[in-house]
């Protein structure tokens, strides 16, 4: 506890310099460095001969020498910029422990000098340390360029699907954690004592040797404590928002409040590096001197600390009460002020009824789905039928392809017997039947899955849409750019969505699509903003877990495609009314 108090004292005794330095550093990062690196990445995409990156061209893009050079450059630049921040902060705290005053200019000079020294033979490993260890803990603003590119999401996406990838990920994460703790004090020696990083990491390893868990556990507890303080401050702000809404100060269209909340909450995030390294410097001093931490000047007296902890306790208690009341009675806040994400039922309500059938569509409408997503193929006689696969094996038990049977035979198949007894006799509907059951109740997302046997499906779909007058209540989606171009050629007023497993780059040239429908694992806040800036919407698929639903909602995607529309609606409504601030907090945490 004494070291925790000492770390807090060290942090608050230097709060002025911390705020000034981090303000300038973050301003430079957000206004200059991050846009520059994004421009470099976009330039690399163009040099490689692409306008954007999707699942279809990702491997080709990465295999090009120019792309590899660009990726390495971005990682190197981000690591050096991270090193600059950490060096400046470590120097400030180390000087303070020696009771020496540090000017703001000194911090910038030391940061620059540390980066310069990093390119020598004995010090280059400090860049690798910064590159592979520090960004994993999301400590610096520069790590956000890694997360904003969706790299953690890409790793998790493949990790849960391939055991080999998961194993590699666990091993790398374990090694990174081990090195982070083993070399945790190396920055103190490298920056303040001007030692080479080779010597610095050896000195750090000596201090940690035999005390690995004694070093690890306090660091974890310190970060948890800092996070709780962060959340407590966030909860206080949520109470203020709530009180303003009760008094009618916040209106439905109050974009100003949303903007102000983002500015206020962004202020907390840039203190991550000073918070963690105030404790690391304290630990290093105590470990190297064999003292408990009592040598610090008494900046925070016990009464002040008591008040500080009392505020945290009260804030948490208020949030519990607030969450209970709002879940019971609602907030009174019109959540449209934050976004208006709609819900699509993937193949209808396919969790509770046979997919792509009339019962699934009707149940989805009953469960408040805004859209019905369905798949279409063309039968032997040209009838457009609603089915996901291009054969009937999985849903109806018949090993025949969709283009081999006329609709008169298809309608005899049972699409419900494999789902449950309740739905025995459910037939595979035509697109016309589906539209008749949905029209006026929900909008349609019609996915075309073209193959060599269905040459006229785009024209047939357009004719059906026009026949029933649902041009303004539907969107046609496909993984095939050619299919979307054919739709636009037939009727340019019909909206289209380009399906992508992943996306990066510039999307202005995708003129044949009004929206991008992207695998949710690869969606980031920056990606959503980029697509929106091109005047296109973002559809996220397939989103089924609570955490993913909330994340997509907070990212401000336009449409969430889910297998369980009732659950998604409940998650959004309860999250929106029961914990307004938590959504705002996560929105900012992931987007900065």
Q: Which of 144, 346, 352, 377 is catalytic?
A: 346
CB 576 within 8 A of CB 583: yes
User: In whole angstroms, what is the distance from residue 364 CA to residue 345 CA?
Assistant: 6
Q: Which of 144, 377, 388, 453 is catalytic?
A: 388
User: In whole angstroms, what is the distance from residue 132 CA to residue 175 CA?
Assistant: 10
State the residue for tokens 């992207």: 518
346 annotated active-site: yes
DSSP 427: P
532 annotated active-site: no
First-to-last C-alpha distance (Å) of the chain: 32
Nearest to 556 by CA among 295, 255, 304: 255
Q: Helices (DSSP H) in 183-271: which residue ranges?
A: 186-191, 197-208, 212-246, 255-269
- The dihedral of CA 267, 143, 542, 471: what is its sign? positive
CB 102 within 8 A of CB 91: yes
How many other CB atoms sit within 10 Å of the CB of residue 530?
22
Tokens of 123: 């010090």
CB 33 within 8 A of CB 144: no
State CA 430 to chain mean position distance.
38
State CA 577 to chain mean position distance.
22
User: In whole angstroms, what is the distance from residue 500 CA to residue 481 CA?
Assistant: 10
CB 62 within 8 A of CB 68: yes
Distances (CA, A) of 122 to 128, 181, 199: 12, 20, 9
User: In whole angstroms, what is the distance from residue 389 CA to residue 385 CA?
Assistant: 11
Distances (CA, A) of 116 to 51, 111, 446: 36, 9, 56
| Active site members | 346, 388
């Amino acid at each position: 506890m004494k070291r925790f108090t000492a770390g807090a004292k060290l942090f608050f005794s230097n709060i002025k310099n911390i705020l000034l330095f981090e303000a300038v550093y973050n301003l430079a990062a957000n206004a200059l460095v991050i846009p520059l690196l994004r421009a470099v990445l976009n330039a690399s995409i163009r040099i490689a001969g692409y306008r954007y990156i999707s699942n279809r061209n990702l491997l080709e893009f990465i295999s090009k020498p120019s792309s590899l050079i660009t990726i390495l450059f971005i990682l190197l630049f981000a690591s050096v910029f991270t090193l600059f921040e950490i060096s400046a902060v470590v120097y400030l705290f180390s000087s303070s422990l020696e009771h020496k005053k540090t000017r703001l200019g000194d911090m910038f000079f030391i940061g620059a000098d540390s980066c310069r020294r990093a390119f020598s033979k004995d010090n280059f490993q400090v860049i690798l340390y910064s590159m592979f260890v520090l960004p994993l803990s999301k400590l610096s603003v520069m790590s956000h360029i890694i997360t904003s590119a969706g790299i953690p999401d890409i790793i998790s996406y493949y990790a849960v699907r391939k055991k080999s990838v998961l194993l590699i990920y666990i091993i790398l994460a374990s090694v990174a954690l081990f090195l982070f703790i083993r070399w945790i004090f190396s920055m103190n020696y490298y920056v303040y004592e001007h030692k080479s990083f080779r010597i610095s990491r050896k000195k750090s390893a000596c201090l940690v040797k035999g005390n690995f868990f004694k070093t690890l556990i306090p660091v974890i507890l310190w970060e948890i404590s800092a996070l709780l303080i962060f959340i407590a401050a966030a909860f206080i702000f949520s109470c203020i928002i709530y009180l303003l809404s009760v008094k009618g100060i916040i209106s439905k269209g109050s974009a100003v409040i949303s903007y102000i909340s983002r500015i206020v909450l962004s202020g907390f995030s840039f203190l991550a590096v000073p918070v963690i390294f105030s404790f690391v410097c304290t630990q290093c001093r105590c470990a190297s001197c064999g003292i408990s931490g009592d040598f610090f000047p008494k900046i925070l007296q016990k009464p002040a600390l008591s008040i500080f902890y009392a505020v945290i306790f009260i804030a948490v208690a208020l949030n519990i009460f607030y969450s209970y009341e709002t879940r019971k009675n609602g907030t009174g806040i019109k959540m449209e002020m934050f976004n208006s994400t709609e819900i699509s039922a993937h193949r209808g309500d396919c969790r509770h009824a046979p997919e792509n059938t009339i019962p699934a569509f009707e149940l989805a409408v009953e469960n408040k789905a805004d859209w019905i997503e369905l798949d279409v193929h063309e039968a032997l006689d040209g009838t457009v039928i609603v089915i996901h696969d291009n054969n009937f094996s999985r849903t109806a038990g018949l090993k025949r392809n969709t283009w081999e049977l006329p609709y008169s035979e298809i309608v005899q198949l049972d699409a419900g017997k494999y789902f449950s007894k309740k739905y025995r006799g459910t037939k595979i509907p035509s697109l016309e039947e589906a539209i008749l059951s949905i029209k006026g109740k929900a909008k349609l997302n019609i996915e075309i899955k073209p193959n060599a046997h269905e040459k006229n499906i785009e024209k047939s779909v357009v004719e059906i849409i026009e026949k029933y007058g649902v041009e303004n209540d539907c969107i046609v989606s496909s993984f095939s750019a050619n299919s979307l171009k054919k739709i636009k050629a037939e009727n340019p007023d019909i909206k289209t969505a380009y399906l992508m497993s992943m996306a990066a780059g510039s999307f202005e040239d995708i003129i044949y699509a009004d929206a991008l429908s992207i695998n949710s694992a690869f969606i980031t806040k920056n990606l959503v903003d980029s697509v929106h800036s091109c005047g296109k919407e973002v559809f996220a698929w397939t989103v089924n877990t609570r955490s993913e639903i909330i994340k997509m909602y907070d990212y401000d995607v336009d449409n969430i495609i889910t297998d369980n529309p009732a659950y998604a609606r409940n998650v959004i409504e309860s999250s929106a009314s029961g914990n307004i601030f938590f959504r705002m907090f996560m929105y900012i945490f992931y987007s900065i």
